[in-house]
């Protein structure tokens, strides 16, 4: 950005959690992402199932 000197940015300390905590958080987020992928993979199957039930109920099959 204009008006911000690199030398000023180098002086700013950014606190970070210990590496073990960072790894734990990453593992937790990876596990959540894997669960989301699993659920997304099931969506087409359940959408098709819902459509079959609707077709049967409404007699459109």
List pLDDT tens digits, range 8-30.
Answer: 888 899 999 999 999 999 999 99
| Predicted structure pTM score | 0.59
The residue range of the domain holding 49 is 18-58
CA distances (Å), origin 52, targets 19, 33, 42, 44, 48: 50, 30, 16, 12, 6
Whether 7 maps to a domain, the answer reads: no
Whether 5 maps to a domain, the answer reads: no
pLDDT at position 60, please? 75
Q: How many structural domains does the chain have?
A: 1
pLDDT at position 52, please? 94
With tokens 């204009």, the residue in question is 2
With b for 16 or more beta-carbon neighbours within 10 A and e for fewer, the 19-55 pattern comes to eeeeeeeeeeeeeeeeeeeeeeeeeeeeeeeeeeeee
31: its two tokens: 């596990």
Whether 3 maps to a domain, the answer reads: no
Rg of the chain taking only CA atoms, in angstroms = 25
Whether 52 maps to a domain, the answer reads: yes
Whether 41 maps to a domain, the answer reads: yes
């Amino acid at each position: 950005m204009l008006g911000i000197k690199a030398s000023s940015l180098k002086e700013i300390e950014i606190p970070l959690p210990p590496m073990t905590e960072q790894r734990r958080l990453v593992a937790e987020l990876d596990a959540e992402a894997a669960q989301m992928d699993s659920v997304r993979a099931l969506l087409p199957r359940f959408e098709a199932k819902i459509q079959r039930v609707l077709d049967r109920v409404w007699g459109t099959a």
